[in-house]
């Protein structure tokens, strides 16, 4: 890791840090010598994660675990105050917490409230709670928000999740535009767009990683390489989907507007064959 923010003594805060991509990221930041704050809403899993990350940290007391509900601004502001009191300046914020209980357009309101609250409002809360102080301290910093390909191509099946991740994309693009126009600001934003990653969120009862999935560790390694390159859109492949295939799917989704096709035409009975033929070109 060569990114200047990932260095000994700097502070990283990771939400959704008790498992999956969040835990793998926290471990990588700890190995770089950073002081790491783990935030999650599961106190038991958070303590297990703290022990795992502490084993890879460069010093005792370099890892802090804080039970946090990212959907609550008060809880996230409390996290900020706790981090500031313990470690001072924050240099890296990874808004990664996410849930996927499943949704339908006219299904339970609770599912919509939960998904939007964690996946989208949680990102907004984290950024607004930590961002001003990160800008004010004047040192280089990163805000990494975890999005999804489902927020770009919006496949049918889980509309609340798609809406939440589409919102994260729009919010992070606006954030980076704002940050790069801050006089003297040295904070950069990045949108992490994982592929198929085998985590508790995607396992669906499976205990073994499917052949097509990446591990969280592979995803984080790709993220770190992308940060070194300065990529804003960190579009991750996996063992099934190449970047070239992702690009064609994204281009087709944008083409629905340009070509005045029906929305989600990939899955439309009158356009699915055309999409399949286009992929072969």
Query: Are 248 and 236 within 8 A, CB to CB?
Result: no
> Residue 130 has which token pair?
């930590």
32/129 Cα distance (integer angstroms): 25
What distances in angstroms separate CA 207 from CA 41, 180, 210, one per listed residue? 23, 43, 9
Q: Catalytic pick from 29, 161, 222, 252?
A: 161
> Residue 15 has which token pair?
């939400």
- Residues linked to residue 243 through DSSP beta bridges, in sequence order: none
38/40 Cα distance (integer angstroms): 7
112/28 Cα distance (integer angstroms): 32
- Per the annotation, the verdict on 161 as an active-site residue is yes
DSSP percent split of the chain into helix, strand, coil, nearest 5: 50, 15, 40
Among 2, 6, 44, residue whose Cα is nearest residue 27 = 6
- Please list the active-site residues: 161
């Amino acid at each position: 890791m060569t990114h200047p923010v990932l260095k000994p003594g700097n502070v990283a805060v990771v939400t959704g840090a008790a498992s999956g991509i969040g835990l793998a990221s926290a471990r990588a930041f700890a190995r770089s010598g950073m002081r790491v704050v783990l935030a999650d809403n599961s106190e038991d899993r958070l303590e297990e994660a703290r022990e795992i990350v502490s084993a890879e940290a460069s010093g005792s007391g370099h890892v802090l675990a804080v039970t946090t509900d990212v959907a609550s601004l008060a809880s996230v502001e409390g996290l900020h105050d706790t981090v500031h009191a313990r470690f001072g300046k924050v240099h890296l914020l990874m808004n990664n917490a996410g849930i996927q209980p499943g949704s339908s357009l006219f299904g339970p309101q609770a599912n919509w409230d939960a998904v939007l609250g964690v996946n989208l409002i949680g990102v907004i809360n984290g950024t607004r709670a930590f961002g001003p102080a990160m800008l004010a301290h004047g040192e280089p910093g990163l805000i990494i928000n975890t999005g999804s390909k489902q927020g770009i191509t919006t496949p049918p099946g889980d509309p609340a999740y798609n809406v939440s991740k589409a919102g994260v994309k729009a919010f992070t693009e606006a954030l980076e535009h704002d940050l790069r126009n801050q006089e003297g600001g040295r904070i950069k934003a990045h949108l992490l767009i994982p592929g198929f990653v085998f985590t508790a969120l995607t396992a669906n009862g499976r205990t073994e990683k499917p052949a097509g999935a990446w591990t969280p560790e592979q995803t984080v390694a790709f993220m770190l390489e992308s940060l070194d390159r300065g990529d804003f859109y960190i579009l991750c492949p996996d063992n099934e989907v190449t970047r070239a295939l992702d690009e064609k799917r994204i281009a087709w989704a944008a083409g629905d507007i340009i070509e005045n096709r029906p929305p989600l035409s990939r899955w439309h009975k009158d356009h699915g064959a055309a999409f399949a033929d286009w992929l072969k070109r």
